[in-house]
Amino acid sequence: MADGAIAWSEQEIGELTAKVKALKASMGRVIIGQENVIDSLIICLLAGGHALVEGVPGLGKTLLVKSLSQATELDFHRVQFTPDLMPSDIVGTEILEEDHATRKREFRFQQGPVFTQVLLADEINRAPPKTQSALLEAMQERSVTFAGQTHKLPKPFFVLATQNPIEQAGTYPLPEAQLDRFLLRIDVVYPTEEEEIAMVSATTHAGLKDAEPVMDVATLLRLQQLVRDIEIGDHLLAYATRLVRATRPSLTTVPAVKKHIGWGAGPRAGQALVLASKARALMQGRLAVTREDIGEMLLPVLAHRVLRNFEAEADGIAIADILQALREHIRPD
């Protein structure tokens, strides 16, 4: 383990990794297919980050996060973002109350839906920027400041925000600085034919099942501590850093980046890549990061942090193709 790490017994590590497998299995009994999405969601949760989910309506994004909250026994709130949504609708507001005995009036803070452990922010880009900022501030600071007083959010605090990648009319795209607050961007794709048949069959019968609770809050917080203590070698730490730095057109030696990227990722991306790689290693039952972990987490970590230039958009060059070229060009020592 890393310097200054908590001492972990083999028994506790075995129990914790078994809980991770049980969590995935519990969600898998409710969510048909989408194994990569479930993996990415659990990785994000273990790493203590937030996820931005993109996918067309009807692919089960709400059911996905609801099943996660059920399996982990976490409080769950859902907010549908709309153009008239105000910051107070998210974080809360003060209300004037009167004591019936003394007739004394005083203001009391009424907590909003952000005071939960799992928050689904549905179609976050449909709310105006000031409302987006209120949520994103809570994501970063893990607290809400109102009328000069700071109110701590529950632990853990996990936000899953969704965006529709097709319809952009009447939306407010998230600025790059706010996108950077999300640890991962997870793409939800259409299921295979076999998965879709199974999904239609399961959802058109009575008695839909909920995810079985398999993990409590204390266990999840302990797992998040363990993720931080997963080993990563100095050469892999340097490799992750070089990958991030190579996304910057002014520094890169990767031809695809020079040609197609207008703006590269910042230092926070390197932190996210290492942390997500540690969480993936733990999910795989390992206590050390491998090159494969870093490679697999490259796309979900960088997809929303790297901006294509006009030429790439006009030619239909996808971010995934550019990052694949980056991965092939940059090698660990």
Check residue 225 and give its pLDDT: 94
Distance between CA 236 and CA 55 in Å, rounded? 32
In a domain, residue 107? The reply is no
Looking at the fold, whether 217 and 257 belong to one and the same domain comes out as: no
Q: To which residue do tokens 């999300």 refer?
A: 182
Shared domain for 142 and 214, answered yes or no, is: yes
Residue 208 confidence (pLDDT): 63
Residue 273 domain flag: yes
Token pair 């070698």 in the structure block, residue:
233
Residue 235 shares a structural domain with residue 291: yes
* Residues, the chain: 333
Query: 28: which 2 tokens?
Result: 């898998």
Which residues are within 8 A (CB) of 141 and not within 5 positions of it... i.e. 6 or more apart?
Answer: none
CATH, residue 243: 1.10.8.80
The tokens of 66 are what? Answer: 């609801």
Q: Give yes or no: residues 22 and 61 share one domain.
A: yes
* Contact status, residue 323 vs residue 257, Cβ threshold 8 Å: no
Q: Looking at residue 168, what is its pLDDT?
A: 67
DSSP 215-258: --HHHHHHHHHHHHT-B--HHHHHHHHHHHHTTSTTT---HHHH
Which residues does 260 contact at the CB level (< 8 Å), separation at least 6? 308, 309, 311, 312, 317, 322
The CB-based long-range contact list for 94-101 (8 Å cut-off, 24+ gap) reads: 94/146, 94/147
For residues 32 and 127, state if they share a domain. yes
DSSP states of 5-34: PPP--HHHHHHHHHHHHHHHHHHHTTS-S-
Pair (220, 314) in one structural domain: no
Does residue 156 have a cis peptide bond before it, meaning omega lies within 30 degrees of 0? Answer: yes
How many domains does one find in the chain?
A: 2
Contact 114, 92 (CB under 8 A): yes
Q: 198, 229, 260 — which closes off a domain?
A: 229
Are 49 and 167 in a shared domain? yes
CATH label of the domain that carries residue 174: 3.40.50.300
User: Which residue, 180, 212, 229, sits at the end of a domain?
Assistant: 229
Domain around 176: 8-84+116-229
The pLDDT score that the predictor gives to residue 206 is 62
The verdict on 12 and 142 lying in the same domain is yes
332 by Cβ neighbours in 10 Å (0-12 / 13-18 / 19+) ranks as middle
CB of 90 closer than 8 Å to CB of 133 = no
Long-range CB pairs of 60-64 (<8 Å, 24+ gap) are: 60/31, 60/34, 60/188, 60/199, 61/120, 61/122, 61/160, 61/162, 61/188, 62/120, 62/122, 63/30, 63/31, 64/27, 64/31, 64/34, 64/37, 64/38, 64/188
Residues 138, 49 share a domain: yes
pLDDT at 331: 85
Same domain, 79 and 147: yes
pLDDT along the chain (333 residues), means of 10: 63 91 90 87 94 81 85 90 90 82 81 92 89 86 84 91 75 83 90 82 70 90 94 95 94 91 92 96 93 95 92 89 92 80
